[in-house]
Structure 1
């Protein structure tokens, strides 16, 4: 068992670092690879896009986090990054439906979200037991003692490493201009984030909601389904666009 020095205030500096690095990464990735992808998206949306995003993300974060934490042995209000992501998706997809916007609009957020989770979960880890994100007891050799003498899964580090791995693969995809990264990176990220966290939720002592599943299992399953369905829909839309006949000027001015 590995003893870890923790402090409740440790969350704040990592949160600030995550926000700072996330903002910087957004600007860097935009200038490096996504400028041509983002400009057509920006032309189709207005300020309402960010309003709907916020109206989904903020209540989504607090509703999901509190619904889970209020059912624990020490009920308290809390917030959740998974709830924020699901809420933001609901808000943005509602906006897109009202405006008739098709295709992915979240590509610019992929790097910042992935990096933010990778760094932010370190804050959860070093904040210790008061953060209420600790793992279930285990006797594995890498079990950590967060101050109560109980060896636990370092689930925060599992998630941090998973998202750091995804970020590395995503950046390699951008470097090689892979279509999945350039066009559908947000959908792929949702699928990966949902899948890896779905697995780690089995290693957390959260109250169960349905059978062996807690609330976050269900939210993460929804993210996996969303990422897969929308990724496939985008690919079908792209294939139809490629198969569409090109208009070539002729004597009768008809497409051929």
Structure 2
């Protein structure tokens, strides 16, 4: 216990007025969506990033898409959590599915929900699907960072037992010093991935190659999540699969493969 640092206990409720409460977890989603909206509009408005033909997406398109994205994130994230992580508990008490303020969201479910929303929106508007993904991918990274910080504040999704100097004892765990894996994920999925994609969009001008940024986002998130899972305690109701794999790893492998496949397609297409 000599090397354990105190867990900085923070009230999960930011503001409470009577029965009305604003939680850090909900605020992370709100700020993440608003930032993503703003950043995506900055990307499509920067003519230098797109070349002589300009962006095929307008700021007005993104104004209209933000509602579609919000629905995709929340509905997909919640359904994904129910199906992937705890179907039994929700079958026993179905109404708890709607209690999203208590947490219980799946990134992979939110990713699928948002992808479906993007596909439908592009079909309706006649917008190139790959270009929209290229714009949305970098825009969600700050939201991913904030979401993991909210997990840390809630004292949930903690890491595996550890003897590193920065190990922490989480109040809702079992008293063992553990990796603050939420912070690892915030750094990898949020900060590092944002910087990588920023280089691609602003330095290498990869938005001119539809699908390139989206491919790197999918691979980057998948790899970041797989790495983080080595330090994160798996959900107690699921545990480990064969070979020490976790549900987060299994769900991330298809993202890496899909991103790699898309990258190969983009590179071959642009050689023609």
TM-score by length of 1: 0.74
Give, in whole Å, the separation in 2 of the partners of 1:160 and 1:102. Answer: 28
Give a deviation string over 1:46-79, Cα, whole Å, max 9, x none: xx99898778655432232123442699987532
The equivalent of 1:171 in structure 2 is: 198
Distance across 1 between alignment mates of 2:72 and 2:194: 25
Match of 1:14 among 28, 47, 50: 28
Q: Which residue of 1 aligns with 2:101?
A: none
Counterparts of 1:204 and 1:157 in 2: how far apart (Å)? Answer: 13
> Structure 1 residues 222, 55: closer, same or farther in 2, change over 3 A?
farther
| Contact 1:6 1:147 (C-alpha < 8 Å) held by counterparts | no
Larger Cα Rg: Structure 1 or Structure 2? 1
- 1:145-195 per-position Cα deviation (integer Å, ceiling 9, x unaligned): 232543221111111111311211222233323437864111101110011
Structure 2 gaps, min length 5: 14-23, 98-103
Aligned position for 2:186: 160
| 1:120 aligns to 2:147 (yes or no) | yes
Q: Which residue of 2 aligns with 1:233?
A: 265
Task: Report deviation, 1:116.
Answer: 1.1
Q: How many residues align?
A: 235
Cα distance change on mapping 1:41 and 1:20 into 2, 3 Å: closer
Q: Is the 8 A contact 1:29 1:111 kept in 2?
A: no
1:16 is paired with a residue of what secondary structure? helix
8 Å contact kept, 1:86–1:219:
no
Q: Which moved more, 1:32-41 or 1:4-13?
A: 32-41
Rounded Cα–Cα distance in structure 1 between residues aligned with 2:145 and 2:261: 25
In the alignment, which residue of structure 2 is the partner of 1:28?
A: 42
Match of 1:105 among 132, 136, 151: 132
CA shift for structure 1 position 107: 1.2
Unaligned runs of 5+ in 1: 241-256
1:81 to 107, 124, 143: 107
What is the rounded CA distance, in whole Å, between the counterparts of 2:70 and 2:26 in structure 1?
Answer: 21
- The 8 Å contact of residues 49 and 205 in structure 2, kept in 1 or not, is answered as no
Q: TM-score, normalised by structure 2?
A: 0.70
SS of 2:105 mapped into structure 1:
coil
Does the residue aligned with 1:39 lie in a helix, a strand or coil? coil
- Partners of 1:2 and 1:180 in 2: how far apart? 43
Q: Partners in 2 of 1:156 and 1:122 — Cα distance?
A: 7
